Amino acid sequence: MGKTSTKSKDRYNEDIYARYTLRVRKDASLYGYIEDFMSKKGTSLNYLVIKLLEKHFDKEHYGSK
């Protein structure tokens, strides 16, 4: 089996995904909550943000719960 190069993966991701930047002050309590969530759940902030945005827009546009 061949290996996909990092450059190739980066190019694919650039073509397929949008990138957004989020900044949280390190001295804010939110920073601690985020760090705690990621360490306990073993997941990324990206996962959490996507799930919350999907839920938000589903409610906003379709009246779902």
For 17-33, what is each residue's pLDDT tens digit? Answer: 999 999 999 999 999 99
- What are the tens digits of pLDDT across the range 24-61? 999 999 999 999 999 987 888 999 999 999 999 987 77
* Confidence class for position 62, pLDDT limits 50, 70, 90: low
Whether residue 8 is predicted with pLDDT greater than 80 in this model: the reply is yes
pLDDT of residue 63: 61
* Confidence class for position 2, pLDDT limits 50, 70, 90: low
The CB density around residue 55, as the number of other CB atoms within 10 Å, is: 12
